[in-house]
Structure 1
Amino acid sequence: MAAPSFSLSDFRSALLRLLPTGPIWSREPGSLPYLIAAVWAPTFQRNGDRASNLLADAFPSTAVELLPEWESTLGLPDPCAGTSPTIEQRQAQVVARLTDNGGSSIAYYTALAKSLGYDITITQYVPSRFGKTFGGTFGGDAWAYAWKISAPQFTIQQRQFGNAFGEPYATWGNTVLQCEIRTRAPAHTVLLWDYGGQGNPAVLGTFEIDFNTLE
């Protein structure tokens, strides 16, 4: 539920209602109590607006003014977000760091990517062995440590109502996804990236891989 927002007239009326009753305490426009209440009302309105803003900044997914404070406690910003990340990207990184409990399963990496705004699928590989399905990837023991992340070539993140003013209407790219997952990938594994490709990673898609490690 959105925080309440009160106008100048709301605060002026509230101040006037606090006055004692009697003929000298007139609430009529132009009277001295009315003019004094009109002077005080803007201060109360500013305080109310700042309090409402604090409610939004108290949560990392909506923080703007306090976003640097959230980031500094989590070692952000970092190179993962590039040189000029949007407010939404920075918020997503903060949320991902705060909710990250660690893990090494497919479900963990899929959920991590989702928290950053990306939908991915993960494929694991095994070395060639007797009885393996014909037509599959042929390779040595190193394939036991290879896994592929499939994602759209460009993940488009559209602006939504309520986003920070001045941000681009849309951003696209997978830089944050790659960087965040690489920092969490087990050191002994080989990570393949597939943007739009299907099937054998040695044939289709765009990949970053040293095939000498997968002989």
Structure 2
Amino acid sequence: MITVDLFRALLPPVSYDPNGKHLSAELKAEARLMDAVGASAGRVLASITPFYASTTLSDWERIYAVSPRDGATQQERRENVLVRMAATGGLSIPYFIGLAASLGYTITISEPRAFRAGVNRAGDRLFVEGMRWVWQVNVMGASTPKYRFRAGASAAGEPLLAFGESILESTFKDLKPAFTDCYFTYEDGE
């Protein structure tokens, strides 16, 4: 039922003419306002979780300390918040491999070791002492994330196709142990 018709039906049957000039204009104005309030309430209800958040997406980013890149689409920003929500943190290599798998990446992690007498041989690579705090993330078959414009998931003015940045690197750098450093290598999956 249209809101203005609902308001007309609420009038006492004999006392008012629902089609009168002034009363009809008042009912239409009130109905437009009620429809706007209903639409606004729907947006607020959708923003309870970040799955459909649009106007409150910046609040979700602030809460989870996500800094969107310049030109990021709503889909990309929403995905970054959801990834950060799901990430609990860990210190083990299997945790980070599982985290990457949940993001759609296949990785291995290697830890370069400094040259040690009795363990290494002539011809092995020498590393500086601080290399024991570094780990290398080898990403296999990675591609740049693509965000296609979708009604309900994108905002007006966004491009029909946008290319995002990998959330993998920023997530790993945020969740890794503070005393370590990680760097990424990418291998083509072909």
After superposition, the CA RMSD in angstroms is: 3.3
User: C-alpha displacement at 1:177, in angstroms?
Assistant: 2.7
Unaligned stretches of 5+ in structure 2? 113-123
Partner of 1:196: 188
Say which SS state the counterpart of residue 26 (structure 1) adopts.
coil
| 1:19 to partner: Cα distance | 1.6
Cα distance change, pair 169–195 in 1 and its aligned pair in 2 (3 A): farther
What residue is the counterpart of 1:52 in the other structure?
A: 42
Q: Which amino acid in the other structure matches residue 40 of structure 1?
A: E
Match of 1:10 in 2: 2
Q: How does 1:1-150 map to 2 (within 5 A)?
A: 10-22=2-14, 24-27=15-18, 29-30=19-20, 33-77=23-67, 81-103=68-90, 104=92, 105=95, 106-111=97-102, 114=103, 119-125=104-110, 146-150=136-140
Tell me the TM-score normalised to structure 1 length: 0.64
Q: Does 1:181 align with 2:169?
A: no
Alignment-mate amino acid for residue 172 of structure 1: F
State yes or no: 1:164 paired with 2:155: yes
Q: Is the 8 A contact 1:147 1:189 kept in 2?
A: no
Output the CA distance in 2 between the equivalents of 1:82 and 1:122: 24
Number of residue pairs matched by the alignment: 170
CA distance in 1, matches of 2:109, 2:26: 72
C-alpha separation between the residues in 1 aligned to 2:25 and 2:137? 72
**Structure with more relative contact order (C-alpha pairs < 8 Å, separation 6 or more):** 2
Q: CA deviation at 1:68?
A: 1.8
Letter in 2 for 1:16: R
